[in-house]
Chain A
């Protein structure tokens, strides 16, 4: 396709918290500065900047890209904000990849920032307008409805119990104990999750990731630049994205076909023909525990309906055959929407560099995949990294 190789050479991340004192631009600055410092670059070396952030309604600022610009290092540069709902955090590095792979620039800074705590009484309310204003909003929906509906459809299709699903929350919240950015890391047990408050049957409180504030950033560079900067570049080997219809009630919710299509695009680019064998570590999006299982299947990391069994067998544990969400995921580290997706990309970056510290998975992983998801069960964004 005439595309240039693109490497990640630096990453930065803030702590994910319920309520940050810092503003969105301040958090963006902290993450971006950390990423540039690690890459050994100055802001003047950066040619283009792309920023990912979720709906303006969280911040109550109706030009969030421009609002975040100065913190993200975008002053007087080729700067743009990208947005595909909850899929934004993995789309942002894909967008940066486009800039570098196309030859438009050699150094691109990718920043994802989210400040959900500004929205009262609860940021969940800001999501209501994703439902169709004429045919759905008059029914007074809550955001949790759609997840409860999808979770039940998934459980019914494969005969899964709530215990099968809750294991994901236990794994991820415990994994997050080793992540310095974690907001809700906790040594929870299956009983804790199953006995937590029921919000929308079958969804319990501890099945859900929290609302969070936080930011993350990565530096993407061309091959020539990467070789000058580091002997440990991590290559973006494949990218994929796919969006399905907003007529969400007309598709069968048990399987995310749009995630599979995004994965197939990324795998083809990366030369991956047998994802179950060729991918060594994975960070699928886990805003709810069942969604990790859903997305493992959509990413073709296991057969359909098998993800829960593999989880129960420890296959997806940090020391399992395929570590899944070794970071602790959205369920454990927290879920500042766009920053979460990029946190997952950063986790794969660190795992492949064998710099993940206590979270390091064994076996010197060479290939990893990160994925995000969003909106009305319709957005899939996938990135494959290789060392």
Chain B
């Protein structure tokens, strides 16, 4: 087989700029239901607590809360509060926005992390943000605790936890 002569040339930036284009900006809006388990999880966040669910089949205490166990494939057996502290499983120091545009030099860097929450089964992590620390000081295995918004500002969202900080 000869694939030396492949079709498709590709446009240069100049050609692209000159081309006739039609663009469309979708204006779609969604109202996502929280569902049974995440609804309770968000209600708990509003109260300043982290809610897990447990399954008597596999014995796991799971985050985020869920109404069925995906391993045993049966309804979970109930809900339980876990601590609002945890350990950093992994983290990144991000210099770009969601659309790949770059943060300005003076903008704080985002530090996303997977945090294994104390009281849940080992390895049950959630994604959140690390704050109140120099990015270069963050390490895997670091103990962190939730920094909550004031009660009056909580709205039942994952952002009711402003970030996790080392302690």
Contact = CB atoms under 8 A, between A and B. Distances in A.
Interface of A: 10-15, 17-22, 27, 30, 34, 38, 60, 120-122, 124-125, 128, 131, 133-136, 138-145, 148-150, 152-153, 156, 180-181, 183, 197-203, 213-215, 245, 247, 249-253, 346, 350, 353, 355, 357
Interface stretch (B76-84, B98-106, B144-152): B98-106
Contacts of B167: none
A156 B126 contact: no
B44 interface: no
A257 to B, nearest CB: 12
B132 interface: no
Contacts of A141: 98, 112, 127
A19 B16 CA distance: 8
Given A138-B158, A153-B90, A153-B140, 12 more contacts: A14-B7, A17-B9, A19-B16, A125-B98, A139-B159, A148-B92, A148-B93, A153-B89, A153-B114, A201-B92, A249-B114, A253-B114
B144 to A, nearest CB: 14
Interface in B47-99: 62-64, 70, 89-99
B3 A201 contact: no
A180 B4 contact: yes
In the A-B complex, the 7 residue pairs with the smallest Cβ-Cβ separation, listed nearest first, are A17-B10, A148-B92, A201-B93, A153-B90, A200-B94, A14-B8, A122-B100
Contact of A134 (B8, B38, B90, B123): B38
B3 A180 contact: yes
Contacts of B23: 120
Contact of B91 (A19, A149, A215): A149
A150 B34 contact: no
Nearest to B12: A19
Interface string B1-26: 11111111111000110010001101
Contact of A149 (B2, B16, B62, B114): B114
A201 B90 CA distance: 12
Given A13-B3, A13-B6, A120-B23, A150 B96 contact: no
B98 A124 contact: yes
A214 B9 CA distance: 10
Nearest to B159: A138
Given A125-B99, A199-B95, A200-B92, A250 B10 contact: no
B8 A214 contact: yes
B157 A138 contact: yes
B101 A121 contact: yes
Interface in B99-158: 99-101, 110, 112-114, 123-129, 135, 140, 157-158
B77 to A, nearest CB: 18
A152 B100 contact: no
B8 A27 contact: yes
Nearest to A247: B70
Contact of B11 (A20, A27, A122): A20
A339 B16 CA distance: 23
Given A134-B32, A135-B41, A145 B99 contact: no
Contact of B92 (A124, A128, A152): A152
Contacts of A245: 70
A18 B10 contact: yes
Contacts of B99: 121-122, 124-125
16 contacts: A18-B11, A22-B8, A124-B100, A133-B30, A134-B38, A138-B158, A144-B96, A145-B110, A148-B94, A149-B91, A149-B92, A149-B113, A156-B90, A215-B8, A250-B63, A350-B1
A152 B11 contact: no
A101 to B, nearest CB: 23
A203 B135 CA distance: 15
Nearest to B121: A250
A12 B89 CA distance: 43
A24 B34 CA distance: 36
Given A134-B158, A141-B127, A60 B90 contact: no
Nearest to A129: B30
A59 to B, nearest CB: 11
A153 B101 CA distance: 25
B72 to A, nearest CB: 13
A139 B90 contact: no
A143 B108 CA distance: 18
A200 B90 CA distance: 13
Contacts of B91: 149, 152
Contacts of B140: 152-153, 156
A202 B7 contact: no
Contact of A142 (B42, B96, B126): B96
Given A136-B127, A152-B140, A247-B70, A142 B11 contact: no
Which residue of B9, B19, B38, B100 has the most chain A CB atoms within 10 A of its CB atom?
Answer: B100
B6 A181 contact: yes
B34 A134 contact: yes
Contacts of A346: 3
A229 to B, nearest CB: 13
